Copies of this chain bind each other. A is one copy, B any other.
Amino acid sequence: MFFASDNAGPVHPQIMDRLSAANADYAMPYGKDPIMDEVRDSIRTAFEAPEAAVYLVATGTAANVLALACYTQPWQTIFCAKPAHINEDECNAPEFYSGAAKLTVIDTDDKMTPAALRAAIEKQTPGNVHGAQRGPVSITQVTERGSVHSLEELHALTAVAKEFDLPVHLDGARFANAMVALGCTAAEMTWKSGVDVVSFGGTKNGCMGVEAVVFFDPAKAWEFELRRKRGAHLFSKHRFLSAQMAGYMQDDLWITSAEQANANAAYLAEGLRKAGAEFLHEPQANMIFARWPRAVHRKMHEAGAKYYLWNGPLDGDENELVAARLVCDWSASREGIDAFLSHF
């Protein structure tokens, strides 16, 4: 009954096995390990991007802010939706890594619209030395509210960015969950949709702590390496990042694991729906935002369920509907879900 986050579950056994296998003898440090060669190849293949520059870091915030920093000048502004992780959950790391650039936050509960993005960009007049200059656009897929941009929606947003010659970053902390939900390829959801650099998440989908940064244009490769080292994110025993990512890519674990997570969430959503819960958004990947009476929340919490109440305390009117955020990872068991639902 743990639905607090997909960042709190166990590591997939296939990845643990790769870690053990990597733990033999010596390996060259700092990314020169041979497993990294395997990783680079498998990610390039997965993204149909034979020239892509591929790097590993240990946290999703590191992936986001290092990727963005390569495309942001300190006098620019990054365009993103209000709930974006880079805006609400990274304690000014994007500002820190970009050398004190600004975020222009597009006011929305979930996705940006192309019109709102265009309006925000147009407001920053080019050639006006007084205002922040236009910088990259960052899109989150799966969004922080659990919804998934369709390929059309992605295209529409990146088309606006391209019209103004702005680079596009995709925060893919839940990349595989979105891809599986859309039934598309990694290429379609990135460079074929106008994305220049992606934070390709592993941690939330069965890894221990690894994310890839994939640049479709390798021109930024050396700058990234310098920024990663300067940010203290270059691992000496890098092979253990490589091994995780190798295990994640091996036999499409990244895909099957996301399928399992999404299926778990769908099963949970179906149960909630039957029990009468109201959905804030229709769940599309592995996150659910729904509300039901406070009295039921109390029973669930007393029984040890873990999840976030989204807009209200546990104390108050018994009958009031209180929203919850529930996240499933690959490891959530049907028994746990059933036990949780039994409290309705």
Q: Kindly state whether residue A172 has any CB partner on chain B within 8 Å.
A: no
CB of A74 within 8 Å of the partner chain: yes
CA–CA, A237 to B209, complex, Å?
7
Contact A24 B7 (CB under 8 A): no
- The answer to whether A7 touches B237 (Cβ under 8 A) is yes
CB of A335 within 8 Å of the partner chain: no
Q: How many A residues face the partner with a CB closer than 8 A?
A: 72
Main secondary structure of the interface of A (DSSP, over half): loop
Most chain B CB inside 10 Å of its own CB: which residue of A10, A77, A91, A236: A91
Q: List residues of chain B with CB within 8 A of the CB of A5.
A: 29, 236
Q: Which of A20-36 contact B (CB under 8 A)?
A: 20, 23-30
Chain B nearest CB from A98 CB (Å) reads: 8
Residues of A95-128 at the interface with B, using a CB-CB cut-off of 8 Å, are 95-103, 105, 107
Interfacial residues, chain A to chain B (CB-CB below 8 A): 2, 4-5, 7-11, 16, 19-20, 23-30, 57-62, 65-66, 73-77, 88-93, 95-103, 105, 107, 129-133, 203-204, 208-209, 225-227, 229-237, 240, 306
Instruction: Report 9 cross-chain contacts, Cβ distance below 8 Å, ordered by A residue.
Output: A8-B236, A19-B208, A58-B58, A62-B232, A74-B92, A90-B130, A92-B102, A130-B229, A204-B236
